[in-house]
Structure 1
Amino acid sequence: MAKATTAKPKAKVPAKTTTAAEAQDTVTHTHRDEAKSRFTAALDEAKAGAAALKAEATDRTSEYTTRARGKSEDTLTDAKTKAADLAVEGKAKASDVLTGLGKVVSENAATLDEKLGPKYGDYARSASRSLQETATKLDTKSVDELGEDAREFVRKSPGMAVGIAAVAGYMISRLFRR
């Protein structure tokens, strides 16, 4: 006896139908993708805006720096000119003071001869000549030459320079204290 085999019919797989939940999931996924792309676009736009602001700030900073340098150079030039003018004026006044002091000492040398003796009158005349010579040297030298002479003096005898500065500072402080 032969067995008859019967083939079982295969079950038909129904065509894929989307359920409401699957459709909702697809719509949600589409909205999420759209939101992501919009957010990415907004980030890109914000980055571009920040880069533009940075470039503008850099340009303005450069412009302001250039202006400030120009003004500071002008101010420095003006200050140097004013300082040079004041130094020349101070030199002229110092020379006039030394000349006047020399004349006063010379005029009083005769009185010193009478009251204290000829030795002190000679000291006064010698001091008067020194003051006159110093005033003449001061008149003939430029401010730059005087500055170089002062630097040379400080190099040669720094102790004396410090001592002179201390005495001058003390005298100036006493003068302004009153």
Structure 2
Amino acid sequence: MADPTVPTSDGTENAKNHFTKAMEEAKAGAQALADEYRGKFNKTTGEWSDEAKTRSDEAKGKANAFAADAKVKATEYANEGKARTSKAIVGLSKAIDENVGLIDEKVGAKYGDYARNASKSMQDAATKLDEKTLDELGEDAREFVRKSPGLAVGMAVAAGFVFGRMFKGK
């Protein structure tokens, strides 16, 4: 009786035949697909058939519509983010204002003045943020990077670190 764990030459030959047959079928399918698409291109004129042109135009139209929708959505999200950021800055400024008296009492009027100045600066920044369009904010960011590339990279690294810590899996 033969050992079932030892392959026989018949089993190997059978597997090779199946593999060869599958490869031939795959090649034939690929060739048929290539022939179908070659039929849509006229080598003499160097142009695609009307069907190919129509499908191409339809695909371009769908891609353009998708891109336009994506741009509208991105703009909506950016405006929403801008509004939320401004609201958060104002909220933080109000929290500082509410605690300025306590700061004056506990650590001194000098530090209370620092807190008032910081709160005022934050309110001014929120107002400027509300008044500017996304294009203006983008141009301001580009100008900041041009003037202070080292600081911009440092801020990006710090923001990445903070976001990494915030979203780090527990």
TM-score (normalised: structure 2): 0.71
Structure 2: runs of 5+ lacking an equivalent: 1-35, 43-47
Distance 1:175 1:148 in 2: 29
Change over 3 Å in CA distance of 1:115–1:54 after alignment to 2 = closer
- Number of residue pairs the alignment of both structures matches: 128
CA shift digits 1:30-77 (9 cap, x unpaired): xxxxxxxxxxxxxxxxxxxx9x94469733221211111000000101
Moved over 6 A (4+): none
Question: Partners of 1:139 and 1:116 in 2: how far apart?
Answer: 34
Separation in 1 of the partners of 2:74 and 2:39? 44
User: Can you list the C-alpha shifts for 1:108-157, whole angstroms capped at 9, x where unaligned?
Assistant: 11111111111111111111001000000001111111111001101111
Specify the alignment match of 1:125 in structure 2: 116
State whether residues 40 and 52 of structure 2, in contact with CA within 8 Å, keep that contact through their aligned partners in structure 1: no
Which runs of 5 or more residues in structure 1 are unaligned?
Answer: 1-49
Distance 1:60 1:113 in 2: 78
> CA 1:54/1:128 → structure 2, altered by over 3 Å: closer, same or farther?
closer
Q: In the aligned structure 1, how far is the partner of 2:41 from the partner of 2:118? A: 72
Correspondence for 2:141: 150
TM normalised by structure 1 equals: 0.68
1:177 counterpart SS class: coil
Corresponding residue of 2:95: 104
Match of 2:79 among 88, 95, 98: 88
Match of 2:29 in 1: none
Aligned to 2:50, which of 42, 59, 68?
59
Partner of 1:70: 61
CA RMSD of aligned residues (A): 1.9
2:165 is the counterpart of 1:166: no
